[in-house]
Chain A
Amino acid sequence: MSPAERPLSPHLQVYRWQLTSVMSILHRATGIALSVGTIVLVSWLGAASDGPEPYAAVQHFLGSWIGLLLLFGWSVSLYYHLCNGIRHLVWDTGYALELNRVYTGGWAVLGATAALTVVSWVVGLAHWAH
């Protein structure tokens, strides 16, 4: 077999999905999503500095269903990347690298992401309604 035809690892077509690899892919995917999200952040700050009308326009867009959907995706991505990033920082110190603790940490990150997202939206929407 020539070098060009040799199967590369990980061979995604035959690779069994597992928590560890999925979470690794998600870390990169949410990082890319958050990079796009920074444009929204800067637009929001820029509109506010331009005056009440541009600010109201951005607030109106963010309050629409598509705006809320974007904000929801942004919040899930942010909490995931934050929690999993902390997991990475812990690994960098040499802790929690045993396979069972890698899985425990993974589930903890997913649980924390879900909990933080739900709490943020309950509090945020309650605040918004007033």
Chain B
Amino acid sequence: MTEQHTHAPMRSSLGRAIGLGSAKEGVTHWWRQRVSALALVPLTIWFVIGVIGLAGADHATFVAWVRNPMTAIFLILLLIATFYHTALGLQVVIEDYLEREWARLATLLVMRLLSVLFAVRGILAVLKLALGA
């Protein structure tokens, strides 16, 4: 320990040991952002290659693509990872720029709601196509 305290430290020994900081969540947000980013690297590359192959494709070709079980699985994983990562990223932007408590909270709630809404809409669309309903 190189730290020297000339007077009482601001942080208690217990607080230092638990290591969660003032926001009470420690590195949780940071870590989740990295893990979802790592998952998105292969998923995004797979998706972009797929979309380029589908340029100008008709409906039947598109449906045949989604009906492939691997496509459906990867699309659903992509949607989950994308909206999770998006919500984490937008949260930081909102917390950085919205100072007023109520505005920040309201925007965070709306953003989370829309993220879940779009994710579920996307997953349902993939399931409907994949299961041929």
Q: Which residues in A have some Cβ–Cβ distance to B below 8 Å?
A: 28, 31-32, 34-35, 38-39, 41-42, 45-46, 48-49, 51-52, 55-56, 59, 63, 75, 78, 82, 85-86, 88-89, 92, 120, 123-125, 127-128, 130
Residues on A with beta carbons closer than 8 Å to the beta carbon of B83: 38
**A90 vs B40: C-alpha distance in the bound complex, in angstroms?**
15
**Inter-subunit contact A28/B121 (CB<8 Å):** no
Residues of B within 8 A of A45 (CB): 75, 122, 125-126, 129
Within 8 A of A (CB), among B34-54: 34, 37-38, 40-41, 44-45, 48, 52-53
- Closest residue of A by beta carbon distance from B87: A35
B126, chain A: closest CB distance, angstroms: 6
Given A34-B86, A85-B37, check contact A127 B56 (CB 8 Å): yes
Interface size class of B (residues with CB under 8 A): 20 to 34
Q: Which of B48-65 contact A (CB under 8 A)?
A: 48, 52-53, 55-56, 58-60, 62-63
B residues less than 8 Å from A120 (CB atoms): 48, 52
* Distance of A63 from chain B, by nearest CB (Å): 7
The answer to whether B59 touches A42, judged by C-beta atoms less than 8 angstroms apart, is no
